[in-house]
Amino acid sequence: MAQTRIVTLDLNFQGRPQAIASYLIRNGEAVVLIESGPGSTLAGLEAGLANEGLSPRDVTHLLLTHIHLDHAGAAGWLSRQGAEVYVHPIGAPHMLNPEKLIASATRIYGDRMDSLWGEFLPVSPEKLHVIGDRESIIIGNLEFLPTNTPGHAEHHYAYLFEDICFTGDVCGVRIPGYQYLRCPMVPPELHLERWHESIKRLREQSFARIAPTHFGIYDDPEWQLRVVEKGLYDAERWIDKMKAEDPNPPIEALRESFTTWMVEQGAAFGLSEDVVKAYGLANPPGMSADGLLRYWKKFKNVASTS
């Protein structure tokens, strides 16, 4: 049986290493990517594939953890090069008709939209595969198992492959060289309870290595799962405290407070300025304040008044 080769492709997002990965898994004729990255990093993707003696046309399958622009923006383009694209049922309609997704991202990023994310083409319908929770994806000799993992986004899968779990954003964001992790708690679908349940679900599976899209493959999944849970509890306490101090906090003040918290935390962990910037690129800390406020209003507000 052909040897399986697993390679982390660094997409060099905004000229910065170790911000966004696409994972290449190769065995015989099967050339599988987990995550396409955004449309703005096609050059990085092509360069990474070229290092392996491949071109985008050689990619046979693309598995998406979720449809956020930094993970799935180039999926449509890859489908036009011939790749079969696999996605969560809730994310699938947006891959065929990305207008709403693009409009909501444009509200956040404004005129930086194009330079940050590039083009988001719809996936060709005949190339789109909607896959169910725990429904094996068999590609040649390879088997991938998607696990439903909402919380960061409703439409999120982690993919188990041999002893590795490819976790997208549900197990946080980290950068090689540091035992430090952040949870990307972005609007509009952030749901802390569901996120905790997803971590529990992942704990029930056994894997020796963990590969968040931001960034790299690590051999300490226990540590990562534990620290994600702690990060979620800490964030919940933070928003509870902010709402207790001021029931209607201005969002600008919340963003500032959250960012200050993250900067202080980063400093305590000895992160260099460069690494702080890399974290900010993959996961702007202010946006987690938006996500947490929205979550609080939608779910906690109801709980406290009923």
Residues contributing to the site for Zn ion (CB under 5 A): 68, 169
State which residue, 49 or 295, has the beta carbon closest to Zn ion. Answer: 295
H helices of the chain, in order, are 42-51, 69-72, 75-80, 92-96, 99-109, 113-117, 192-203, 221-245, 251-268, 273-282, 285-295, 301-305
Give the nearest distance from C-beta 170 to Zn ion in angstroms: 9
State which residue, 34 or 139, has the beta carbon closest to Zn ion. Answer: 34
Give the nearest distance from C-beta 103 to Zn ion in angstroms: 17
Q: Please, are residues 223 and 179 in contact by the beta-carbon 8 Å criterion?
A: yes
Give the nearest distance from C-beta 306 to Zn ion in angstroms: 31
CA distance 33 to 30: 10
Q: Which of 52, 55, 46 is nearest to 5 (CA)?
A: 52
Give the nearest distance from C-beta 217 to Zn ion in angstroms: 19
How many Å is the Cα radius of gyration of the chain? Answer: 19
- Residue of closest CB approach to Zn ion: 68
State which residue, 89 or 188, has the beta carbon closest to Zn ion. Answer: 188
If you search the block for the tokens 């004729």, which residue do you land on?
29
State which residue, 68 or 182, has the beta carbon closest to Zn ion. Answer: 68
CA distance 214 to 65: 12
Give the nearest distance from C-beta 168 to Zn ion in angstroms: 7
State which residue, 169 or 290, has the beta carbon closest to Zn ion. Answer: 169
